[in-house]
Each structure stands twice: as structure tokens, then as C-alpha cells.
Structure 1
Amino acid sequence: MANSFDWNALDQKITATLMDNEELDRTKALTVVAVSAIMEIDIDEAIDAITDGGNDRGADALFIDDRDTRKDIHIFQTKCVGDFSKSKNHFPSSEIDKLASLVTDLTGHDSDALGSVNDLLKAKIADALEILKESNATITVHFVGNTAPLIDTEMKRIQTAFSRYKAIEFRMHDLDALSDFFIEKKTPALVREITVIDTNF
């Protein structure tokens, strides 16, 4: 279970990102921090992945990973709370159906349904639709929150809804998981005696 050390490690990273990028709000800063850490890309690339805004269909960021011949589409939905006391709340399930609908339209190449999204997302979707023409294309949906995870029944519900698609995966990144990217792990000092015999070390 996440504790105040986990909260502080992640919150310091969010705060630093906000200070360096004044155009971001707190939720977008968490999105950027998470995308950068999870995808192992720099902050500028993560900012470029942002699609949050009106008509975003529940997608706060979309990143296409085409490194090393990969054809992987990563969609992020982020929920950010403002203080540690709220971090024990579960990731809200209210918008996962909206995001599930976006994934359905993507896999169905439904251009009409996808036409009403905001300009940031529209450009990303155009690229994603091209990627989905490839035989090795995949979609991974990331739920990101500085909170407790989605309740099990909600995660199972959305996984079951897409279980027939082998190339679609859903991942939960809660406070506990996200903090592992940033919390300093201190290795305990080991004190041992080593016995040597003559010149045999």
C-alpha cells in the first residue's frame, strides 16, 4: 500500500515538471511524468503526446512507439488528486467506458466517430490508424493515477470486454507503482569479514 514516502517522491516530480513547463496544469504534469517514465522517453516527447482537452474521448495522451520495428499505440487516461489524504481513493471508473469506446472506434477504423475529437487527438489518431494497418500493431491503454488502483471488478470488466482482441492490453499505474520510478531505494550497508589464506584471495 502506498504511503507518504511514495506520495512525496511522485509529487516532487510533478512539482518540478510544473515549474519547468508553465503551460501544464497538475493533471497534465502527472500525465507527462507518467508517459516519460513508462515509455522511457524525455519530457519534451511526453508533452508532445498530450491530447487532453475538450472532446478528448477520455484520452489524455497518445504515444506511438515505433522504435525497433515496434508498432505500439499507447493511450493514457490520468486522474490526479491534490493531496495525500485523497490518494487512498480508488481510480474513478466514470470515464473508462468513454475510453473503451475510443478503442472500439480505433480498431473499427470508424472515421466518422473519430472525426469529432479535438485537433491534438485527431492528428494522433490519423497516425494510429496507419499503424493499425500493420500486422504487428498493438494497443495498450494505461490508467494513471496518484491514487489507489481501479477496483478489481472494473478492471476485469474492461479486460473482459476486449478479451477477444489479443493485441489490446489494459494496465493500471497507481501511486504505489508510479512512485517506484522516482523513490530513492537505499541499499543497506553490509558488514562482512573476509578471511584470506596466504596469497589466495
Structure 2
Amino acid sequence: MKSKLSTRDLINIGVFTVIYVIIFFGLGMLGIFSPQMMLVGFAAAILLNGYVFILLLARSPKMFTLTILGLLSGIVMVLTGHPWFLVITTPVLGLIADFIATSGGTAKRLEPKRAMLAYAVFTLWYIFPLLPMFFAADDYFGKIEAEMSVEYADSMRELFTVPVFAGWCVAIFILGLAGGWLGVKAWSKHFKRAGLSS
């Protein structure tokens, strides 16, 4: 197996990044109803994007596939008004996920257990857009008030206590494992049989 990303791999990454981002923002729109529904939307996005992540990895099981996915996702997040540091944290998590999924670049094909763990680690980027609630609270909730309402911002303040946030961080990782498992199951049962792997 060639270890370098080919033009075909880059096209795959681009296509799957678009799908990944559409799912994230589409389900994230549930948050317009309430902060609680935002978490429901994010949870659903993590589970559904497990299919996208695993199929991308199956088609392009090479080092830096996930780093680029993370970089492109981070750029989109920053361009849509999220914290600037996401353009750093998402590719870094992507790089870590790359090392896990490809055994440091030596794997020749998708390895299910490694792929599941890689997705769980990659998904931890969901933590970072919420961090300003704690270290830049006035600015963060001021924007929420302007974009949504004072009532929405107050509800969000009440919801995201430190224990709840800590629990959400753990939940993200568990949901990532579950989403990876669902993706691997679908790949094994449908995609692999249909020849949609590398």
C-alpha cells in the first residue's frame, strides 16, 4: 500500500468532510429550541458521523487523512463564528487519531478496534467550542444573548455547571466509541461487501 495520500484520497477527504460538517450543523440546529436540545443534536451528530468517519477511513486508511479532516472541519468552525483555537485543536486531535487508526502509518487497511478508538478521540473536539463558557464567560454569553435571547443564555448558564460539563466530556468519548462501533458494523455488513473500501 502506498503510504502517501493520492489525489483520490484528497477528493475522498474533501467529500466526506462536507458530509461530516453538514451532519454536525444540521443536527446542531436542534439547539435553537433549547440548550438541552443542543446536546441532543450533538449526541445524534456524533453517532451518525461515526458512519462517515469509518467509511472515509476505510477508503483512505492512510496517515494524515484524519488530520486533514480535522483541519478542514476546524476552518469551517472558525469561519462560522466559533473559537479561533479550533483550527489548532481539531487537526491535532486528527493527527492523534491518525496515529491510532493507522498504527503510526503502518496499517494497510481499516482495523476496526483502532478505528473506533480513533473516532472517539477525534470526537473530543466537541469539548472545545464550549470552553469559553468558563474562561471568557461574559463575552461568550453576551454573544448568545445577541444571537438567541437573554432567556436562552440564562438557561445555558444554568445547564452547564462544571459537573454537567465534565459529564458531557465523558459522554462525548463514550458516544464516539458507540458511533465508531456503528460505523464499523455498517462497514463490515454493507460497505465492505459493496467494495467501498480502499
User: Normalized against structure 2, the TM-score is what?
Assistant: 0.31
Q: Which has the larger radius of gyration?
A: 1
Which has a greater percent of helix? Answer: 2
User: Normalized against structure 1, the TM-score is what?
Assistant: 0.30
